[in-house]
Amino acid sequence: MVLLQNKTYEPLTESSAAALAIKLRLFPEGTLLTVEEIGDGNLNLVFRISAQDSGKSVIIKQALPYAKVVGESWPLTLKRAVIEANALSVFKKLAPNYVPEVFFSDETFAVTVMEDLSHLTIVRTGFIHGDDFPLLSKHIGEYLAKTLFFTSDYGLTPAEKKELVGKFINPELCKITEDLIFTDPFFDAPTNDFEEGLKKDAETLWADEDLKFEAALLKKSFLTEAESLLHGDLHTGSIFANKDETKIIDPEFAFYGPAGFDLGQVIANLLVQQIANPEKQSSISSHIKVFWETFSREYSKLWKEQNTDPLSSDDRFLAYLLEKYLQDAAGFAGCELIRRTIGLSHVADLDGIQDKDKRLDAKRTALQLGSQFIKNHRNIKSINDLIY
C-alpha cells in the first residue's frame, strides 16, 4: 500500500500523519482531526491523532533513521519498526491484557499505528509525581512469565523457536545495548555522561578489575544465550499504567537473549525510584517482591503444565532455571543502574533531584548498588538479596 505520495521513506509531519490516518480509514473522510507530536524518546516520532467530534484517537509511531540524542551522525536502521510491530504482535498473543493493539504497520515508512494509551500514565513519570500503581508489579510479573516461557525451548518446539530467533535478529539495536550498557560505562568512553562530582566514583569503578570481569560474563550471556524473546528495553518509561491497567510499549530492541535481562531491567528501574526517594523504600520493596514472586509462581505453573521438553520436566531443573534467572537479573540490574548514572542515557528519577548534594549521593548509591549486584550476582539466592 502506498501510504504517502512518495514511495520512499520520509519523516512524517503533523499534516502527513493526519493524512495517513484518513488513508488507513481509521477515521471517516472529512473528520476534523487534532494532531499532537508527543514523542520524547531518542529514536522515534510519535503522533496522537484524535477526532474532534468523537474523541476517538490513535497513535502513529515512526522510526527515525538516526538517534535524536546524537543527531544524524548516529544512523540507525529503520528495520527496527518491523521488529517492534512483530514483537507487539507476538506479545499481544501471549499476554493480551498487557500489550496495546496494533492496527497497521508498514516497513517502507517504518510506521506502526496502534491503540492510544493516553488514559494511562507513563510509569516513570507517575512515580516521580507520587503515583504508586498498586497492580503494576503483579501485571509485569504475569507478562514476563508468559512472554519468557512461551517463546522459550520449554514453550515452543525446537523448530518453532529457531524460526522466531531468525525473525528477531536485531544487530544494530543490540549493538547499542552492548556498547551503552555492557561496555562503555566500565571504561573512560566518550559516550559516558556524568557530573564532575562523580568523576572519582567513575574512576574507581573503571579501575575495579573484579567488577569488569563479572560485567564481561554478563555481556557474554547477553551475546550468546538465546533463551527467550525479550522486550529488550523494559524500563519504567516503556510501561503505561493506572491503578487497574498496565500496558507494555516500545519493544523495538526485541531479540532473543537471556531471560534475566528483561527481569533485571524491571528491578533496576524500580530501584532507581527508591534510591531517588528513600521514603518509598517500603512500597518499592513490595513492588520488587511481588514482581518476582508473581513471575516465579506463574512461570512455574506454565512450566509444569505446558513444558514441551520431556528431558527438563524434573522439578530440580525448574529450580535451577529460576535461580539462574534471578542471578542473571541481579547482574543485569547492576549494569542498568551503572549505565543510568554515568552512561549516555540517564533517567529523570535521578537527574531530576534538584538538590545537588542529594542528587550526587543518590547517584553514588546507584553506582555502589550496581557494582555490588554485578560482583555478587552469581551468589544471589533470594529476591530479598536485591531489596535495597
Residue 6 scores a pLDDT above 80:
no
Task: Tell me phi and psi for residue 177, to 5 degrees.
Answer: -65, -45
Q: What is the pLDDT of residues 262-306, one digit of tens each?
A: 999 999 999 999 999 999 999 999 999 999 999 999 999 999 999
Q: In a 10 Å sphere around its CB, with 0-12 CB exposed, 13-18 middle and 19+ buried, how is residue 133 labelled?
A: buried
Write down all domains in the chain, each with its CATH number in brackets. Answer: 14-115 (3.30.200.20), 121-386 (3.90.1200.10)
* Residue 229, H or E segment: strand 228-230
Q: What are the beta bridge partners of residue 47?
A: 37, 60
Neighbours of 151 (CB within 10 A): 27
- Whole-structure pTM value: 0.94
Rg of the chain's alpha carbons, rounded to an integer?
Answer: 21
pLDDT at res. 41: 56
Q: What share of the chain is helix, strand, coil (3-state, %, to 5)?
A: 55, 15, 30
Instruction: Tell me the average pLDDT of the chain.
Output: 94
Comparing 17-31, 38-52, 207-221, 328-342, which segment has the lowest mean pLDDT?
A: 38-52
d(CA 64, CA 26): 23
**Cα–Cα distance for residue pair 195/20, rounded to 1 Å:** 43
The Cα–Cα gap between 316 and 248 comes to: 32
d(CA 381, CA 370): 17
For residues 92-105, give the mean pLDDT: 97
Confidence of residue 358 (pLDDT cuts 50, 70, 90): very high
Q: Are strands 33-37 and 57-63 parallel, antiparallel or unpaired?
A: unpaired
- Residue whose grid cell is 528495553: 233
* Full DSSP string of 255-304: EEE-THHHHHHHHHHHHHHHHH-GGGHHHHHHHHHHHHHHHHHHHHHHHH
pLDDT, average across residues 348-357? 98
* DSSP-derived 3-state class of residue 232: coil
Is the pLDDT at 1 greater than 50, yes or no? Answer: no
Burial class (CB in 10 A: 0-12, 13-18, 19+), 62: buried
Angle at 201 between CA 198 and CA 206, to 5 degrees: 120
Nearest to 388 by CA among 260, 286, 236, 262: 286
pLDDT at 2 over 50: no
Is 226:233 a contact under the CB 8 Å cutoff? no
Distance CA 11, CA 65 (A): 9
Percent of the chain clearing pLDDT 70 (strictly above): 96
Nearest to 353 by CA among 177, 249, 197: 197
Q: Which three-class secondary structure string do you get for 210-226?
A: HHHHHHHHHHHHHHHCC
Nearest in space to 280 (alpha carbons), one of 139, 123, 128, 120: 128
Q: What is the pLDDT of residues 166-180, one digit of tens each?
A: 999 999 999 999 999
- When pLDDT is cut at 50, 70 and 90, the band that residue 73 belongs to is low
At residue 110, does pLDDT exceed 70? yes
227-261 b/e (C-beta count within 10 Å ≥ 16 → b): bbbbbbbbbbbbbbbbeebbbbbbbbbbbbbbbbb
CB atoms within 10 A of CB 185: 28
